Amino acid sequence: MGYLGYEMVHFFEPSVPRARKDDLEVPDLCFLLADTLIIFDHQERKMFLIANAIIENNALEAYEKAKRKLDDLQEALSKPLYHPLFLRNPDCGHELPLAVNMTKEEYISMTEKMQEYIRAGDIFQVVPSQRWHTPCKKDPIDVYRALRLINPSPYMFCLKFKDFSLVGSSPEVHVRFDKRKVYVRPIAGTRPRGQNSPEEEAKIVEELINDPKEKAEHIMLVDLARNDIGRVCAFNSIIVKELMVIEKYSHVIHMVSSVEGIAREGISPFDVLEATFPAGTVTGAPKVRAMQIISQLEPTCRGPYAGIVGCLSFSGYLDSCIAIRTILIKNGYAYLQAGGGLVADSTPIGEYLESSNKAKAGMKALALVESFL
């Protein structure tokens, strides 16, 4: 279990230069080999404890060691919990002291320069982003609990490493690989949720699914996803299972599609990751040129943002999400980054507002936790 940061693109694609400034100073890649696990089945309301017997020399010794770990885990679970924050009202009204890695004017100027590359024919689409940070001295698990309350999503995670933590609620699969089946689910097309009535929200959904720009951009990214998994899938096995369906989250509405294929014989989870990383929905198309432009124009490295968070089992099962709606907590600060797809007829101010809307759930979670002194 762990993450591949966006900056890993420089190993997969050497023609993409590193960002001009690495101010986060976290590893490009960090995975944990979990020797003990607690698995909770929410449907069956059952808990499973697992200790992996890592056999180095003596199999019986490894087995006995794993049994002792299970005993220790049972004992730890029988002890009282620490007193967590009692999170109830998500609308706490607490104001965060936010700083950003570029001003609104700088963000708009960056998107205008990117549009020059689009008009010149270098790319069709690119995904600029901006990053906010705020003081945060709370336990990452409390930030996770607040995010779970405010923005429940298909992928919820809290990864605590030695010097930093990653907390996220990602809505988007990066890639899933199980018994040769490859599955991706690109998201492209976003609107803020309706605030006043179901009728207002229905109008927003109708406008999104009938917007020619959004539809064209979405189809382009579905084609990019098909092309990516086509590198590892058998000929004629790729299908679009769902096309442009609507999914609603706490603060935004997304347009989503599902693409599946059957991997060729001998393909490993690492081959699948290499073929699909990073996702086109956080870079643009054509992917390599879009990444080069991002490295040239974004002022700081992306770090874990727009990479992946996922798990890989001993059996070869891979499940991963894109590291969006993800908060990095390090040295008393929380960092949150968001972006949006830019095409020829996008408005820079519209893209600025879209990235801000995507960051709202994370900001609200941090505000909720910080409101408890």
3-state secondary structure of 366: helix
**CB neighbour list of residue 287: distance below 8 Å, 6 or more residues apart:** 224, 278, 280
How does DSSP assign 211-265, residue by residue? -HHHHHHHHHHHHHHHHHHHTTBPTT--EEEEEEEEEE-SSEEEEEEEEEEEBPT
Neighbours of 9 (CB within 10 A): 27
Neighbours of 289 (CB within 10 A): 18
In the set 6, 107, 249, 305, the catalytic residue is 305
| C-alpha distance across the termini of the chain, in Å | 32
Q: Is 230 a catalytic residue?
A: no
Q: Which two tokens stand for residue 4?
A: 């591949």
The dihedrals phi and psi of 329, each to the nearest 5 degrees, come to -115, 120
CB contact at 8 A, 173 and 184: yes
Rounded to the nearest 5 degrees, what angle is found at the Cα of 219, between the Cα atoms of 214 and 221?
A: 95
Can you state the angle between helices 212-230 and 269-276, rounded to 10 degrees? 140
Q: Is 281 a catalytic residue?
A: yes
In the set 145, 189, 325, 335, the catalytic residue is 325
Neighbours of 89 (CB within 10 A): 9
In the set 254, 326, 335, 340, the catalytic residue is 254
In the set 111, 190, 276, 281, the catalytic residue is 281
In the set 168, 284, 339, 341, the catalytic residue is 341
Q: Is 310 a catalytic residue?
A: no
Q: Is 317 a catalytic residue?
A: no
Q: Is 303 a catalytic residue?
A: no
What is the C-alpha to C-alpha distance for residues 242 and 116, in angstroms, rounded to an integer? 33
What is the C-alpha to C-alpha distance for residues 214 and 220, in angstroms, rounded to an integer? 10
The set of catalytic residues is 254, 281, 305, 325, 341
